Amino acid sequence: MRFQIGFIHHGFVVGLICWAGAFLISCDGGASDQRLPILGLREPVTKVVNGVQVTDTIYQQIPAFEFINQDSVVISQTFFENGIYIANFFFTNCPSICPTMQRNLLGVYQEYLGDERVRFLSHSVDFKYDSPEVLKNYADRLGVTNDQWQFVTGSKSEIYGIADKYMSYAAENSDAPGGYDHSGYLILIDKNRHIRGAYDGTSDDKIDLLLKDLRILLKEYE
């Protein structure tokens, strides 16, 4: 059985495609076998193996990337390849959802501080102001003390383009608070760069769900 849901942020709809099969998977991160769904688009690929026709599924994957972090160092997907990570989009001068979202994410970071299985990646949508120095000062003020949490900047096309791959949203918008519009979701990514969950970063209940789903996902790799 196949079904599709969506979440909305500032009028922008992001579709999540989930599948319910033998494991009774639900899109809120619950599952009877304690495994999370893989979210996003997927494509069946048919091939012949040992004379037998088989169909594999190709799942949506976060593509390779390179950004500059708060220490002016190039960070790519290889930094995250040995663990799982939580990604989001923000900007340092955001007057609306970012302070709450980042404080909530800080709580998750502090719970897993020193645990190299879990990392964090915040993309600044303000490509004009949020230089590495600005991001470094922001990270220090927030209370980030190690490299588990990366704050990155890039060109407009790089940052906004990869937001789409996370099924998220980022755009300049003169009518939005601070001049930028972006999703407030925290996006859980597994070791294969598949999206395994999306959580409203301003909701305490969704942060609790994220923490629960983190534990479920980590058990997949034990």
pLDDT at 127: 96
Tokens in use for 129?
């102001």
The pairing of beta strand 2-9 with beta strand 12-19: antiparallel
Residue 28 predicted with pLDDT over 80: no
Sign of the C-alpha dihedral, residues 89, 94, 100, 103?
positive
Instruction: Between 45 and 187, name the one with better pLDDT.
Output: 187
Residue 10, pLDDT above cutoff 80:
no
Q: pTM higher than 0.75 for the full model? A: yes
* 22 has a pLDDT exceeding 70: no
Let me know if domain 66-219 sits in CATH 3.40.30.10.
Answer: yes
pLDDT at 49: 78
Mean pLDDT score across all residues of the chain? 87
Q: Which residue, 94, 63, 36, is CA-closest to 210?
A: 36
pLDDT tens across 38-83, in order? 999 887 778 777 778 777 788 899 999 999 999 999 999 999 999 9
Q: In sequence order, what are the beta bridge partners of 44? A: 57
Domain layout of the chain by residue ranges: 2-59, 66-219
In whole angstroms, what is the distance from residue 98 CA to residue 102 CA? 6
